[in-house]
Structure 1
Amino acid sequence: MRQESLLWKKCNLLRPTAQKEGVVKTPPAANYLDGDKVVFSCKPKYYIHGDIERVCRNGTWSPGWWAWCRDRNLEYALKWMTALLSIFGIVLIFVILFCILWGIRKKKQAEQVEKLLL
């Protein structure tokens, strides 16, 4: 009797997050039974984030990140921007270090000149 009740437990509707633009859920349904698997994918020209597969177990969905899709052009733009900002940040760190070390060197040179003059 207990086994039968487990087989008929339902999972609630599994929706993608608010950024659902481009998300395709298969199989499409309102309710899912124990053991049902849902696979998320994106329409063409979109890139998927999150877990693409979730399973209904004992009335709850398997743990995972919500699936969502982002326009591929935006995805590529964000990747390029991240790369460029990372490079800029690394160069900026080197410039700051150079300025600090150059300032220390100039200070030591000035101290040595003062010692020689005294």
Structure 2
Amino acid sequence: MYRFFPQTVLLLWLCCGAYTASRAQLLRDADTQGVLRQAIDRIYNFQFAEAEPLIGTIRSRYPQHPVSPMLVALKLYWQGMPLRKDKPEYAEYLRYVHLTLRQADAMLDKDERDPEGTFFA
């Protein structure tokens, strides 16, 4: 069921960017898209330690962008599979999900039609 999920998310991300790239930062940054693709691959291949520096690279390039906390939440989710409310990692996972939403909302406060803010909100 989850087999094609990472590819689907990445495909949607890149397709949405094809017509909105003129408005969005990350969607215009091919190098960071490559790092993002690698990070997602590492997470879904359970190579969490290898994903960490890639997430850090993205975070350093786009510190206020919601993609970094989303990647951390995704990593925590897959590390704790199945992630349930009674697991200690669940609270940390929720913190990163909420940070993702706050950063997406901040993007939308600046431009309510921001495609990246919309994607993460």
Q: TM-score, normalised by structure 2?
A: 0.21
Structure with the higher helix share, 1 or 2 = 2
Larger Rg: 1
Between Structure 1 and Structure 2, which shows a larger proportion of strand residues? 1
